[in-house]
Amino acid sequence: MIIVTGGAGFIGSNIVHALNARGLRDILVVDDLSDGHKCINLVGADFRDYLDKDAFIERIEAGRDFGAVQAVFHEGACSTTTEWNGKFMMQVNYDYSKSLLHWCLHRGVPFLYASSASVYGMGPGFSEQRAHERPLNMYAFSKWQFDQYVRALPAPAASQVVGLRYFNVYGPREQHKGSMASVAFHFHHQLLRDGAVRLFGASDGYAAGEQRRDFIHVDDLVAAKLWLFDHPRISGIFNLGTGRAQSFNAVAQAVIDFHGRGRIDYIPFPDHLRGAYQSFTEADMSALRSVGYEGRFMPVEEGVPRYLRWLSQQA
């Protein structure tokens, strides 16, 4: 069996579909379906069982077994960057992860979990070094603190432990995320509704729309994660982006080019985001490359139209 927490969410559901593509169907999906819209992400997927996240962690903390578990992909978390209830965030993102980690270590089960590039804050450094880590909100802090906990584990660990710091992920099955969905998703719907996409004006020394982020297509992210699953001797905390920052203008233009119409409207940069906005991110991918990963990452000019074709088919 393979366990995927957050398995009805954006990245988790894409992992389930990718495992199916390998012929793997003995999967336990763990999630919170209070928002039942997420079930759409699992349409067409095959998995053996489903458990609510609270029922699952109760069994984990009670030391229950789930039979032979091949790996745990831990994608479940509260990813809302505007959530400032620190007690809630640490319970859901930190304590939950610790319990699951120790359950895996005790049984020798590979544990591959989602960290976040938000741990780097405003940068300017984006390599997996303590000196570069400056979380700006509770979400980032909860992810950073779990990375710190993993770093302090006795070496070597009893089984594979891999944390991946996701940069700006976009692609299929993110529609339930609402305001937290990718800019590619929002630009697509803005253009269909208004004939224009909206970008922030000049800020932090960047011209209008020229703020730059490392945008990674979810298919590339999942491919890297499954490669690590195939190499259980590799452990560590790694960045997972493309290694190339691209502008919001580039994403907007890819959306416009796909539809063959539209324009860009620039809006004033919001005062409440000044000093708390990542105007530049770019993953240093040397650590993941150094352990042998040679996979290619799509630029937005390729990844965005691929995603929009999928969105159009779903519509």
Full DSSP string of the chain: -EEEETTTSHHHHHHHHHHHHTT---EEEEE-TTSGGGGGGGTT---SEEEEHHHHHHHHHTT---SS--EEEE------TT---HHHHIIIIIIHHHHHHHHHHHHT--EEEEEEGGGGTT-S--SS-GGG----SHHHHHHHHHHHHHHTS-SS-SS-EEEEEE-EEE-SS-GGGGGGS-HHHHHHHHHHHHSEEEEE-SBTTBPTT--EE-EEEHHHHHHHHHHHHH-TT--EEEEES-S--EEHHHHHHHHHHHHT--EEEEEPPPGGGTTSS-SB-----HHHHHTT-------HHHHHHHHHHHHHHH-
Which of 50, 177, 266, 277 is catalytic? The answer is 177
What band does 144 get if pLDDT is binned at 50, 70 and 90?
Answer: very high
What domains are defined for the chain?
A: 2-168+216-242+284-290 (3.40.50.720), 170-212+245-282+300-314 (3.90.25.10)
pLDDT 10s digits, 155-177: 888 899 999 999 999 999 999 99
Identify the active-site residue in 94, 113, 120, 139: 139
Average pLDDT of the segment spanning 124-137: 94
Percent residues over pLDDT 90 in the chain: 88
- pLDDT tens, position by position, 223-270: 999 999 999 999 999 999 999 999 999 999 999 999 999 999 999 998
pLDDT value of residue 80: 82
Does residue 4 register a pLDDT over 90? yes
| Confidence at residue 18, expressed as pLDDT on a 0 to 100 scale | 98
177 labelled catalytic: yes
Confidence of residue 212 (pLDDT cuts 50, 70, 90): very high
Active site residue 53: no
Q: What would the pLDDT profile of 32-55 be if each residue is shown by its tens digit?
A: 999 899 999 999 999 999 999 999
